[in-house]
């Protein structure tokens, strides 16, 4: 379904990003695995994807919080793999704490990676997407940005920002054949959620109606749908994938 397409996935080296890389590759897309550094994990994923799915895969080092690095990376990916048609803004970090004691550096780091990083990559792909009159942008929001989870002022605000940016991007680029949607995961079993205390994890699990944590593959399946032509009439939406955690 995605043969001949090139997907750029930020934070693609592990967790949800790696699952999205595998899923898009399984559908035929060439994959740019973009992460802070080219780790052994990223190189292993690159080799696994090429061997398993017979598509091109290449790992790139890029800090999404840095606009110049984003522009240079998009340029390099286009040179190596051809026109980018799918952008998945997945890179994200947490630095949790109550507002009372939250360090300015922790607020800035989270907003810079999650929100500005999404903006930077979107801006870097904007002109190429307009020119080719086609593009699929999938942003990773979070139910935290919908619920306002205590202890996550920086993270929740950044993700609410990502979900607003999704709507702006969708409106600006709809006439150019580009869709932009956000996924709002709940509690997904990755390295990110391993950092949460056992007590808080139990509380999360108890509040999920389907009774389990989500898996990275659950999110990857939705990302693949939003990256495929099957979702061409969907834009500017935020879709929760949370086992019912944030049912309102
Ligand atoms: N795991 C969850 O429960 C959950 C819930 C809601 C939303 N999300 C969102 O999903 C996305 C993926 O989360 P995950 O659980 O796989 O996290 P993770 O920590 O396992 O992976 C995140 C990846 O992003 C990369 N990254 C971090 N900062 C970067 C930067 N500045 N530039 C480039 N890459 C960077 C990391 O190196 C890592 O490979 C994040 O945006 C996260 O906020 C996760």
What is the domain extent for residue 79? 6-239
For ligand 1, whether the C-beta of 161 sits within 6 Å is no
Q: What is the pTM of this model?
A: 0.98
Give the position of tokens 């994990």: 41
Q: How many domains does the chain have?
A: 1
Note whether residue 24 is domain-resident. Answer: yes
Q: How confident is the model at residue 124 (pLDDT cuts 50, 70, 90)?
A: very high
Residue 89, in any domain of the structure? yes
Which of 53, 60, 134, 155 does the annotation list as catalytic? 155
Q: What percent of the chain has pLDDT over 70?
A: 100
247 part of a folded domain: no
Kindly state if the Cβ of 118 falls inside 6 Å of ligand 1: no
Residue 152 Cβ < 6 Å to ligand 1 = no
Instruction: Provide the edge-to-edge strand list for the sheet that holds 86-89.
Output: 57-61, 30-35, 6-10, 86-89, 135-140, 178-185, 238-241
Q: In this predicted structure, what is the pLDDT of residue 31?
A: 98
Tokens of 15: 């967790």
Q: How confident is the model at residue 237 (pLDDT cuts 50, 70, 90)?
A: very high
What does the pLDDT read at residue 216?
Answer: 98
**Per the domain annotation, does 136 fall within a domain?**
yes
Ligand 1 geometric centre to CA of 159 (Å): 12
- Per-residue confidence band for 26, with pLDDT thresholds at 50, 70 and 90: very high
The CATH number of the domain holding residue 94 is: 3.40.50.720
245 within some domain: no
In a domain, 90, yes or no: yes
Q: What's the CA-to-centroid distance between 135 and ligand 1, angstroms? A: 22
Taking residues 60-69, what's their average pLDDT?
A: 98
């Amino acid at each position: 379904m995605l043969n001949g397409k090139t997907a750029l996935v930020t934070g693609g080296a592990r967790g949800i990003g790696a699952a999205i890389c595998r899923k898009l590759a399984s559908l035929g897309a060439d994959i740019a695995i973009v992460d802070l550094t080219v780790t052994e994990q990223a190189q292993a994923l690159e080799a696994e994807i090429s061997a398993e799915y017979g598509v091109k895969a290449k790992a790139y080092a890029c800090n999404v919080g840095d606009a110049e690095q984003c522009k240079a990376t998009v340029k390099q990916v286009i040179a190596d793999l051809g026109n980018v048609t799918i952008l998945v803004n997945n890179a994200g970090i947490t630095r949790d704490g109550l507002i009372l004691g939250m360090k300015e550096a922790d607020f800035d780091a989270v907003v810079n990676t999650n929100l500005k990083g999404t903006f930077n990559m979107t801006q870097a792909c904007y002109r190429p997407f307009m020119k080719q009159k086609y593009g699929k942008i999938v942003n990773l929001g979070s139910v935290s940005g919908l619920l306002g989870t205590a202890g996550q002022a920086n993270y929740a605000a950044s993700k609410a920002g990502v979900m607003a940016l999704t709507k702006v991007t969708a409106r600006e680029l709809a006439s150019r054949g580009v869709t932009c949607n956000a996924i709002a995961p709940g509690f997904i079993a990755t390295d990110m959620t391993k950092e949460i205390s056992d007590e808080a994890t139990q509380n999360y699990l108890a509040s999920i109606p389907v009774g389990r944590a989500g898996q990275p593959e659950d999110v990857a399946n939705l990302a693949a749908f939003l990256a495929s032509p099957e979702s061409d009439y969907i834009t500017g939406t935020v879709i929760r994938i949370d086992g019912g955690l944030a049912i309102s």
